[in-house]
Structure 1
Amino acid sequence: MADKLSIVRLIIEGEKFEILVKPDPALEYKMGKRTDISNILASDEIYTDSSKGNRASKEKLEKYFRTSNTIDVARIILEKGELNLTSEQRRRLVEEKRKQIINIITRSYVDPKTHLPHPPLRIEQAMEECRVSIDPFKKAEDQVKSVVDALRSILPMKSERLKFTLIVPAQYTAQSYSVIKSMGEIIKEEWQADGSLKVIIEIPAAIQANMMDRLASITKGTAQAVMMR
């Protein structure tokens, strides 16, 4: 049974507290996908060393958690403590986070010589070459800068942004607006008398072609896009 459980550990003022949990439900809780802990805990015991079976005393729980209710204490440990991931969980999370980081880089950075984004496969290969470390719990957005700094030793990269004036005919504004908004920062928008939409938008240079393609598809080629100098 022990090999099917994970440990969540919380250290307070040098004192260690542990609970035993079911790995996948516990990970879902840590990622905000669960709120109920009843099916997460393997038991309602609070340990100071689960491997030795040493339980935390009621007095120690009162001192550090201001309650001796083990469910309340377990919730605090689960929320604030560190989950010991299984190797499969770590592999899965790191891979998912890696893909998110690569996607952000391809959308936000270009090769300064060609002004085009590096292909995702090339970025992935460079990350392996540089032995970039991915934190499975840290947001992808918060890791991009350190990853890019590492990749610049072998890949020329530049964060470049472009401004466009977009004009979308009235019959396509409803379908186009959410797409335009997701592409970048809308600096100004004006609804014209004929119902058309005029937008000034700033986007990462790397997604220029994608924006043009999506707008052309939605508006059947009738949208206008003019780069601003």
Structure 2
Amino acid sequence: MVQNKQTFDKEKVHFNLIKYQKHGKNFELAVDPDLAIKYKKSGKRDDEVLRDLLKSEKVFEDVSKGLLAPDENIILVFKTNKFFDVANRMILEGEIQLTAEYREKLRDEKRRKIVQLIHRSAINPKTNTPHPISRIEDAILEAKVKVDELKKAEDQVQEILAKLKLVIPIRFDEKVLSIHLPLQYAAKLHTLLQSYGKIEKENWLPDGSFMCKLKIPAGITNEVFDELNSKTHGAINIEIE
């Protein structure tokens, strides 16, 4: 790999980077952040994906200044100057550094997912009904909740719920539904029931119909009632225990 002196002008541009440091040497790649994150999580080499995620097939010492890494430094650290061998190792072993703009994009996406999870599982204990999504969003702002863009939404929910309790009445709850599906819908809707929650005490009756206890997040109770009644044209028997 022979690197030309420079491929980027010294513009005031921020980049999403792969950063790799060893033996006092610094190496950087300019990358597409979504593809780079997926590639790193995969843990395996794929040259076709590498070509897609790289903004330039050059190894930099400092991307923002357009400074390329000297070939002798690349060979010293990676024991090769083959670009895709080097790039693969940098991505799998190096650190992803994201721009502030991209981090904010991730935070917005993670915040929306957290709101959906809370809306699905939580209720207002004063009314035993779900909070509207807009109320949860407002409460997150009011409680000054900080969302970690790199942490799984599911791993942040309990901590955020504790903060929301300071500004709105809210708690996680579950409902148990007693369901009886007639023969013509029993097999067809069994998978749908599983997607809502946990099926307990299921029983296939001699006439081919299906009965069960279904434990679901309290926040989706109305959704479950509406969807099952719609799909069975009202032929389902469903009650809250």
TM-score bracket relative to the smaller structure:
0.7 to 0.9
The question of 1:30 aligning with 2:44 is answered no
Q: Report whether the alignment pairs 1:58 with 2:75.
A: yes
Query: Residue by residue, what CA displacement relative to the aligned partner does 1:16-71 show, whole Å, maximum 9, x if unpaired?
Result: 532122x3xx4134246996111222333334433452514311224xxxx65431
Determine whether 1:70 maps to 2:80: no
2:114 maps to 1:101: yes
> Which whole-Å CA distance do the structure 1 matches of 2:137 and 2:82 have between them?
48
Q: In 2, distance between residues paired with 1:104 and 1:15?
A: 44
* Letter paired with 2:27: F
- Give 1:186 deviation, angstroms: 1.5
- Aligned counterpart in structure 2 of residue 19 of structure 1, from 17, 29, 45: 29
Question: For residues 179 and 85 of structure 1, do their structure 2 counterparts lie closer, same or farther at Cα, with a shift above 3 Å needed?
Answer: farther
Give the aligned partner of residue 84 of structure 1.
98
Distance 1:222 1:184 in 2: 21
- Residue 175 (structure 2) aligned to one of 152, 159, 162: 162
Stretches of structure 2 that go unaligned for 5 or more consecutive residues are 1-7
Partner of 1:213: 226
- Are residues 170 and 11 of structure 1, via their aligned partners in 2, closer, same or farther at CA, if it must alter by over 3 Å? farther
What amino acid sits opposite 2:16 in the alignment? S
How far apart in 2 are the matches of 1:201 and 1:120? 24
Task: Specify the code of the residue in structure 1 equivalent to 2:74.
Answer: S
> What is the CA–CA distance in structure 1 between the aligned matches of 2:174 and 2:25, rounded to whole Å?
49
Amino acid at match of 1:167: H
SS of the residue corresponding to residue 104 of structure 1 reads helix
State the shift of 1:227 in Å: 3.0
Q: 1:162 to 1:138 in 2, by over 3 A?
A: same
Instruction: Give the letter aligned to residue 187 of structure 1.
Output: E
Post-superposition Cα deviations, 1:118-158, rounded to whole Å, max 9, x if no partner, equal: 11101101111222222333222122122212211101221
Q: TM-score, normalised by structure 1?
A: 0.82
Say if 1:13 and 1:145 are closer, same or farther in 2 by CA, change over 3 A.
farther
Alpha-carbon spacing, 1:169–1:202, altered in 2? closer, same or farther (3 Å): same
Q: Any conservation in 1 of the 2:186–2:210 contact (CA below 8 Å)?
A: yes
193-202 or 40-49, larger mean C-alpha shift:
40-49
Do 2:35 and 2:53's aligned partners in 1 also have CA atoms closer than 8 Å?
Answer: no
For residues 170 and 13 of structure 1, what CA distance do their matches in structure 2 show? 70
Taking a change above 3 Å as real, the CA distance of residues 6 and 194 of structure 1, as seen in their structure-2 partners, is same
Cα distance between partner residues in 1 of 2:234 and 2:176? 20
Q: Which amino acid aligns with 1:226?
A: E
- Aligned in 2, Cα 1:131/1:220: closer, same or farther, shift over 3 Å? same
Q: How many residues align?
A: 220
Tell me the TM-score normalized by structure 2. Answer: 0.78
* Alignment partners' CA distance in 1, 2:18 and 2:214: 46
Cα RMSD after superposing both structures: 2.8
Alignment of 1:176-195 (within 5 A): 176-195=189-208
Q: Which has the larger radius of gyration?
A: 2
